[in-house]
């Protein structure tokens, strides 16, 4: 059995991994940057090693230093969390070749799904519905515009190395297409060192619905239901919930089956997510796969009662999933609000600084995953998410009211946070009626005075 795990991350997810390890009787090693000495995961882990300067590029992204720390402390495995090195196929390979278990999929699956055109082609060949578009990357502008015309405008141009909304451009006609095609290529080249792009029909105001997958190293692939992540701003999710208020039992069942098929096509192992776009008519299309544990995994944990981090560790240890698809019961409705150190009334400007009083809500059906505490100084170098509030109950109205209640109890003094914004959304009729699409936030801001969430 795995005896000791290095946690190659920070913040709430590092803490979440420490907690899972404690319950499994596994020792933990925290690696941290000079800016994170005060961080809760450093205090709570059994051992801690400083790996470099405050900037991620000097610490949490330094694969060699992390592997060196792993060898010095003699760990059996590395949990990458999300972000940083979690979807870096080279790092996974490096771990494998150093005889350290990478708690995640095999590097070939990361590589395959990391190329969004290969990912799409792979699942399409397995019969999973994908958005009509080019067959893989487009070679040049002449070919590209031909394909765009054939698909019919509007179209979306996506970087094969992109994902999560980075490197995408929308075109409505031949003229804008010529421009956006070059902008997309240049942006992709700059951002990823790979200018390759592919084209898809642009689906207007879709819902963004993803399925949680767990797959063991013995070929068992299970789906743990969906999360509706439609409430997002500039590709940053703000709220996630499960079950999706939009899906019918029949649609859910069909999508779940295709999610399993997609994961099987990727020869997937460990926890992963299959992302779909769903249009107003209920047509659904695979768009990409995330080969990591996600921020919003806790939503699925509260709906199913399954501890996803523990399952990740057991799978990496070579164990068989000890339950079947029919054992997965969806008994709760859960809503997650991301609590960011940002000012929603000032265009989400980062609001780092020292927290004065911190008081997290509690009570029936409330979970808070956060590394924050009274007196904690939020470093300016990293993601602004300082916590997640997950509220759950037997149905959506219960979860909604509970979320509003818990947000009202949450005290984070000294900095601006997204708490007031979440309160405004939880009492907004469109959201309450379960009608939010990916166009929701923009519309919400257009019709809501900022004093309602500042
Ligand atoms: C799309 C789409 C519409 N049509 N693909 C955004 C996240 C990334 N995982 C995929 N995304 C989208 N892909 C097709 N064929 C709409 C989105 C999308 C989006 C795109 C541009 C600007 C804002 C957006 C917000 C949500 C989803």
Q: What is the pLDDT of residues 110-165, one digit of tens each?
A: 999 999 999 999 999 999 999 999 999 998 999 999 999 999 999 999 999 987 77
**22 contact partners, CB below 8 Å, separation of at least 6:** 28
Tell me, yes or no, whether 21 lies in a domain.
Answer: yes
Boundary-marking domain end, from 182, 201, 220: 201
One domain, residues 226 and 349: yes
One domain, residues 237 and 324: yes
Atom of ligand 1 nearest to the CA of 131: 15
One domain, residues 196 and 211: no
Distance 371 CA to ligand 1 centre (A): 31
d(CA 34, CA 139): 45
Query: H-helix or E-strand containing 409?
Result: helix 396-409
Tell me, yes or no, whether 126 lies in a domain.
Answer: no
For residue 137, what is the domain's CATH number?
3.30.1490.20
Residue nearest to atom 5 of ligand 1 (CA): 202
- Average per-residue pLDDT in the chain? 97
Catalytic residue flag (residue 10)? no
d(CA 46, CA 108): 32
Tell me, yes or no, whether 122 lies in a domain.
Answer: no
67 touches 94 (CB < 8 A): yes
d(CA 59, CA 24): 28
Show the 3-state SS of 230-266: CCEECCEECEEEECCCCCCHHHHHHHHHHHHHHHHHC
One domain, residues 182 and 326: no
Query: H-helix or E-strand containing 405?
Result: helix 396-409
Token reading at 297: 């995994």
What pLDDT shows up at residue 244? 98
Q: Are strands 411-412 and 197-201 parallel, antiparallel or unpaired?
A: unpaired
One domain, residues 195 and 290: no
CA gyration radius, the chain:
22
Atom of ligand 1 nearest to the CA of 275: 9
One domain, residues 216 and 354: yes
What pLDDT shows up at residue 165? 73
One domain, residues 193 and 246: no
Q: Which of 120, 131, 154, 165 to mutate to test the pocket of ligand 1 (most atoms within 8 A of CB)?
A: 165
In which band, very low, low, confident or very high, does the pLDDT at 325 lie, cut at 50, 70 and 90?
very high
Task: Give the total number of structural domains in the chain.
Answer: 3
In DSSP notation, 117-162 reads HHHHHHHHHTT--B-SB-SSS--SHHHHHHHHHHH-SSEEEEEEEE
Token reading at 25: 């009787």
CA-to-CA separations, 382 to 33, 60, 388, in angstroms, rounded: 11, 10, 16
Distance 227 CA to ligand 1 centre (A): 16
Tell me, yes or no, whether 440 lies in a domain.
Answer: yes
Given a cut of 90, is residue 306 above it in pLDDT?
Answer: yes
- Give the residue carrying structure tokens 């402390």: 73
Q: What is the tens place of the pLDDT at every residue in 189-227?
A: 999 999 999 999 999 999 999 999 999 999 999 999 999
One domain, residues 217 and 335: yes
B/e letters for 348-373, b = 16+ CB within 10 Å, e = fewer, are: bebbeeebeebebbeeebbbbbbbbe
266 touches 122 (CB < 8 A): yes
Residue nearest to atom 14 of ligand 1 (CA): 202
For the question of whether the overall pTM of this predicted structure is more than 0.95, the answer is yes
One domain, residues 138 and 250: no
265 touches 128 (CB < 8 A): yes
Tell me, yes or no, whether 112 lies in a domain.
Answer: no
Tell me, yes or no, whether 116 lies in a domain.
Answer: no
Boundary-marking domain end, from 173, 201, 229: 201
d(CA 436, CA 64): 43
pLDDT cut 90: percent of the chain above it: 98
One domain, residues 361 and 385: yes
Q: What is the tens place of the pLDDT at every residue in 24-66?
A: 999 999 999 999 999 999 999 999 999 999 999 999 999 999 9
Residue nearest to atom 20 of ligand 1 (CA): 165
d(CA 47, CA 70): 11
d(CA 383, CA 234): 14
Separate counts of helices (H) and strands (E) for the chain: 15, 24
In which band, very low, low, confident or very high, does the pLDDT at 432 lie, cut at 50, 70 and 90?
very high
Tell me, yes or no, whether 121 lies in a domain.
Answer: no
Task: Give phi and psi for 306, each to the nearest 5.
Answer: -95, 130
d(CA 362, CA 425): 20
Distance 165 CA to ligand 1 centre (A): 6
d(CA 78, CA 263): 22
What pLDDT shows up at residue 131? 98
Boundary-marking domain end, from 201, 227, 243: 201
d(CA 252, CA 370): 31
What pLDDT shows up at residue 46? 98
One domain, residues 309 and 358: yes
Residue nearest to atom 9 of ligand 1 (CA): 164
Give 273's strand partners.
212, 290
Tell me, yes or no, whether 115 lies in a domain.
Answer: no
Residues in contact with ligand 1 by the CB-under-6-Å rule are 131, 156, 164-165, 168, 200-203, 206, 208, 235, 275, 277, 287-288, 438
Distance 295 CA to ligand 1 centre (A): 19
DSSP state of 355: -
Measure the CA angle with vertex 131, ends 151 and 295; round to 5°: 145
Query: What is residue 354's three-state secondary structure?
Result: strand
For residue 248, what is the domain's CATH number?
3.30.470.20
Token reading at 175: 């003229």
Q: Per-residue pLDDT averaged across 235-255, rounded?
A: 98
Given a cut of 90, is residue 167 above it in pLDDT?
Answer: no
Residue nearest to atom 19 of ligand 1 (CA): 165
One domain, residues 183 and 58: no
User: What's the domain range around 370?
Assistant: 207-452
Query: What is residue 397's three-state secondary structure?
Result: helix
What pLDDT shows up at residue 163? 77
Distance 91 CA to ligand 1 centre (A): 28
Give 342's strand partners.
350
Q: Per-residue pLDDT averaged across 73-90, rounded?
A: 98
For residue 31, what is the domain's CATH number?
3.40.50.20
Token reading at 140: 């040049």
Query: H-helix or E-strand containing 275?
Result: strand 270-278
């Amino acid at each position: 059995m795995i005896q000791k795990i290095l946690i190659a991350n920070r913040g709430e997810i590092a803490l979440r991994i420490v907690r899972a390890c404690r319950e499994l009787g596994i020792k933990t090693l925290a690696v941290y940057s000079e800016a994170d000495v005060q961080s809760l995961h450093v205090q709570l882990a059994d051992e801690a090693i400083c790996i470099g300067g405050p900037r991620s590029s000097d610490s949490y992204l330094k694969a060699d230093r992390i592997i060196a720390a792993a060898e010095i402390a003699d760990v059996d495995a590395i949990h990458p969390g999300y972000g940083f090195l979690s979807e870096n196929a080279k790092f996974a390979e490096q771990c494998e070749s150093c005889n350290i278990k990478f708690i995640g999929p095999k590097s070939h699956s990361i590589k395959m799904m990391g190329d969004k055109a290969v990912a799409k082609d792979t699942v399409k060949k397995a019969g999973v519905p994908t958005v009509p578009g080019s067959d893989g990357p487009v070679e040049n502008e002449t070919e590209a515009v031909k394909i765009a015309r054939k698909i019919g405008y509007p179209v979306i141009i996506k970087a094969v190395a992109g994902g999560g909304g980075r490197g995408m451009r929308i075109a409505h006609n031949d003229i804008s297409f010529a421009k956006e095609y070059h902008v997309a290529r240049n942006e992709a080249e700059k951002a990823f060192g790979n200018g390759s792009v592919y084209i898809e029909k642009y689906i207007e105001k879709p819902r963004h619905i993803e399925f949680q997958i767990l797959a063991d190293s013995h070929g068992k692939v299970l789906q743990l239901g969906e999360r509706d992540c439609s409430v997002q701003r500039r590709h940053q999710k703000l709220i996630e919930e499960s079950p999706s208020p939009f899906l019918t039992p029949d649609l859910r069942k069909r999508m779940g089956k295709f999610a399993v098929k997609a994961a099987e096509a990727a020869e997937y192992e460990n926890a992963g997510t299959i992302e779909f776009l769903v249009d107003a008519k209920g047509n659904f299309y695979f768009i990409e796969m995330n080969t990591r544990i996600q921020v919003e995994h806790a939503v699925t944990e509260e709906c199913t009662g399954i501890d996803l981090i523990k399952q990740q560790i057991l799978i990496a240890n070579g164990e068989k999933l000890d339950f079947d698809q029919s054992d997965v019961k969806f008994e709760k409705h859960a809503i997650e609000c991301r609590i960011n150190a940002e000012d929603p009334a000032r265009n989400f400007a980062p609001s780092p600084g020292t927290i004065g009083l911190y008081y997290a809500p509690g009570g029936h059906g409330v979970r808070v995953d956060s590394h924050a505490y009274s007196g904690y100084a939020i470093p300016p170098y990293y993601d602004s998410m300082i916590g997640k509030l997950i509220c759950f109950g037997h149905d959506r109205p219960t979860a909604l009211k509970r979320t509003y209640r818990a947000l009202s109890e949450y005290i984070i003094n000294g900095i601006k946070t997204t708490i007031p914004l979440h309160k405004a959304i939880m009492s907004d009729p469109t959201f309450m009626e379960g009608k939010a699409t990916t166009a929701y936030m923009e519309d919400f801001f257009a019709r809501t005075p900022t004093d309602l969430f500042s």
